[in-house]
Amino acid sequence: MSNMIDRRTLLVRGAGLAALVLGGGLLEACSSGSKGGTAAATSSGGSAASGSLGALNFRFDWIKHVEFAGEFIADSSGYFIDEGFSSVNLIAGGPTATPAETDLVQGKAFIGLSSPGITAAAVEQGAPLKIIGATYQKNPYCILSMDHNPIPNPEAMKGKKIGVQAANMAPWQAFLKANNIDPKSLTTVPVQFDPLVLTTGSVDGWFGFSTNEPIALKQKGFAASYFLLADHNYALVGQVFITTQDSIDKKRDALKAVLRAELRGWKDNLTDPKKGATLAATKYGTNLGLEVGEQTQEAIAANKLIVSADTVKNGLFTMTPQLINTNMQIMALSGSKLTADKLFDLSLLDEIYKAQPSLVTSGVPLKAVGS
């Protein structure tokens, strides 16, 4: 189950990397310039001349896993090059890497992927960053349980033992608060990253990712089910696009070029989940021991979180004002005092879809393949 354990280390991002953002010298880097991360500005609203945007440094927040399927497809299919970039450098993150926020502030990347809570923590400490779109309309956080001892909703957790990793304690506590559940009404059990303890009965429920543990357990022959935190008052988005305010002000066309290429890549993945999974296992993540079949199942699960009624209406990566407000309210449960205008700027996507309305629905399945 090595893939599952590796993926669970991702939970460190929720708290450990936020601490790095606050304590890793990010603020001191705010005036360090932008060498290596910037793309040339263009005046055209459409695709730039071949290579005129220069090199694109794109920072991931984790290892090169299928969660970046859209980026892999956009790169391998030449979509970034089509938009005017001369070359593409997809920069992996990982458990020992600095946060994507740090690389953007230091000018090592032009655009990156992160989570709202980590970016909010950086912004509250003075980082000049904004979220400009969201890949996942729903975060994959879930509570997993065995079918013979099901936990179908938050109320059913009462009286149960729920395994929660130390790095995930903050969102867990915020989730309980959002659902008015007294922490004393259940037992929170500290666990590591291997959900096999769920199968032995050591815990009744497991805080995990809908795109990972349910699939891994099924492959091992265990019958398990889950409910999404996003369906129960914890509707955070996931895998958000972040960039600097300076790039938004001065390099809008280059940012829109990235987003247009991203739209093409993710639309391809929605149509054919195996495409990005194959790239993850055989090209971009070859050192991770990934399997195409398992990665395909993860991609199918992820697609369910990318497409929503709102994205069908407004376009991929968009966020409605209501969804933005919901995210701000959820982050406030963990102590954030930011206002939406200090964290989100969806104007680039608005401009893209206004210029090309057909992009809203063109190539996007009304339901994610495999859902």
CB atoms within 10 A of CB 371: 12
Give the tokens for residue 103.
């690389």
Average pLDDT over residues 285-290: 94
Instruction: Flag whether pLDDT at 31 surpasses 60.
Output: no
Q: pLDDT confidence of 51, banded at 50, 70, 90?
A: confident
| Average pLDDT of the segment spanning 242-266 | 98
List the strands of the sheet with 224-228, edge to edge: 187-191, 161-165, 205-209, 141-146, 224-228
Beta carbons within 10 angstroms of residue 148's beta carbon: 8
Percent of the chain beyond pLDDT 90? 78
Residue 113 has pLDDT above 90, yes or no: yes
State the chain's mean pLDDT as an integer.
88
Backbone torsions φ then ψ of 336, nearest 5 degrees: -70, 140
The pLDDT-based confidence of 147 (bands split at 50, 70, 90) is: very high
Name the 3-class secondary structure at 224: strand
Separation CA 21–CA 242 (nearest Å): 14
Q: What is the mean pLDDT of residues 315-319?
A: 97
Bridge partners for 141 per DSSP: 209
Report, in angstroms and rounded to the nearest whole number, the Rg of the chain calculated over CA atoms. Answer: 20
**Average pLDDT of span 323-332:** 96
Query: How confident is residue 366, by pLDDT bands cut at 50, 70 and 90?
Result: low
Q: How far apart are CA 296 and CA 34, in angstroms?
A: 37
**Neighbour order of strands in the sheet with 238-244:** 85-91, 54-59, 111-114, 238-244, 129-136
pLDDT value of residue 5: 38
Q: 190 Cβ partners below 8 Å, 6+ apart? A: 163, 164, 165, 166
Secondary structure class of 115 (helix, strand, coil)? coil
Question: What is the model's pLDDT at position 19?
Answer: 44
For 160, 169, 207, the CA distances from 189, given in Å and listed in that order, are: 10, 11, 10
Residue 253: both structure tokens together: 């066309």
Mean pLDDT is highest, among 3-17, 68-82, 349-363, for 68-82
Given pLDDT bands bounded at 50, 70 and 90, which one contains residue 193? confident
Closest residue by Cα to residue 111 from 120, 100, 96, 123: 100
Predicted pLDDT of residue 2: 41
Partners of 46 in beta bridges: none
Amino acid, single-letter form, for residue 170: A
Confidence of residue 197 (pLDDT cuts 50, 70, 90): very high
Among 87, 104, 24, which Cα is nearest to 53's? 87
Q: How confident is the model at residue 37 (pLDDT cuts 50, 70, 90)?
A: low
Which residue matches tokens 């032995």? 200
Q: Which residues does residue 53 pair with via DSSP β-bridges, in sequence order?
A: none
Residue 322's alpha-carbon distances to 40, 46, 108, 273, in angstroms, are 34, 30, 33, 29
